[in-house]
Amino acid sequence: MNFWAHLPRPILGLSPMDGVTDACFRSVVARHGRPDVTFTEFTHVHDVCRGPEIHLETLRYSEIERPIVAQLYGNDPELFYMAAQAVCELGFDGLDINMGCPSKSVAASGSGAGLIRTPELARSLIQAAKRGIDDWAGGQTLEQGGFKSARVEIFERMNRRRGAQPVSSREPLPVSVKTRLGYESVTVEAWMEQLLMEQPTVISLHGRTLKQMYRGAADWSAIARAVSLVQGTGTLLLGNGDIQSLDDVPRRVRETGVDGVLVGRGVLGAPWFFRPKELVRGQTCDVMEPGAGVHPEDVPRDSRFAVLLEHARQFVEIFGDRQFYRMRKHLGWYCKGFPHAASLRAQMVRVSSVEELQSVLNMFRNQPQTMAELPHDESIDETGMLASRCS
């Protein structure tokens, strides 16, 4: 079923971010903000089909996250054909193909944003994914689709862990694409024409080229040009880039005509980001008024700490104590918008357990006046790393 057709407009979704939007983070966001749609971190199609079981962790999810879309990347049509069947078997609501990751290792292999330079291959990946979905919907088993029985058993365990019921009906999933304006320069018109030949259900367009990475401002005028190309095709277009609060959404929708937006960095340390979405969404863009968004700084410190602790505890339940170091960046992102936040953020990079985190927070509450600020502020890039803010 095409769930996209039933989402309210404009669509407000959580953008996939590698190393950030794991099952725990998405669950916390779903409980506190509830976006219209969420995506997994990207998973390589080889890992889906033949890789170590640990690499399938990125495809873990819970029912509260629905609708949930599995994002895949790679450059092998045969593996996309197989992986698409696995996505169906795992109960996802949609499949998204990453054609926008600017990482050197990903793009250099011809995957991610590297596919912008090979449009015929990009189109073949969409075709292969759709064939896999159609064959699965037609009753083909995973073994018939090329999977070994041991891999099928892994998928079955993943479904049981989630508490999923066996598949009772096989419906084809919608295929979407997340990409960028171009490789070294903006070539959005030619690139959109190629993608539209395969009629993806949705194209999510980040307003930067691969060369830009996450530098500079997102080019929403180029996104607007892409909108003009998809009109009348049946494909939805979502814009992505520099949405810092829901206040930004009405203006972007009015200026470009996008069907919705995906938000990435704006949600880091702010899982409540989407909470007021109904206040800024009207029946038409004209009645969407600014000023209703929740800025991270508007959330009281103690409320922020409560969600932070909830996030950390759930992370340990899902991934275990040994993986706690992965939580540190999230802990730092929560520490903003209150006095002496920078000094607390500096301590978060050393926290190794929930108990230690609780101790640090208690000490901060009792003696905030003794903590000096760091000499500079910090910002966050979409790779999930802290970076000094340039003037």
Of these residues, 101, 285, 335, 390, which one is catalytic? 101
Q: Are 209 and 180 in contact (CB under 8 A)?
A: yes
Rounded Cα gap, residues 99 and 72, in angstroms = 9
106: exposed, middle or buried (C-beta count within 10 Å: 0-12, 13-18, 19+)? buried
Question: What distances in angstroms separate CA 386 from CA 2, 48, 128, one per listed residue?
Answer: 37, 30, 37
Q: Are 37 and 277 in contact (CB under 8 A)?
A: no
Q: Are 50 and 20 in contact (CB under 8 A)?
A: no
Tell me whether residue 285 is one of the annotated catalytic residues.
no
Q: Are 61 and 37 in contact (CB under 8 A)?
A: no
Rounded Cα gap, residues 287 and 45, in angstroms = 43
Rounded Cα gap, residues 325 and 220, in angstroms = 36
Tell me which residues are annotated as active site.
101
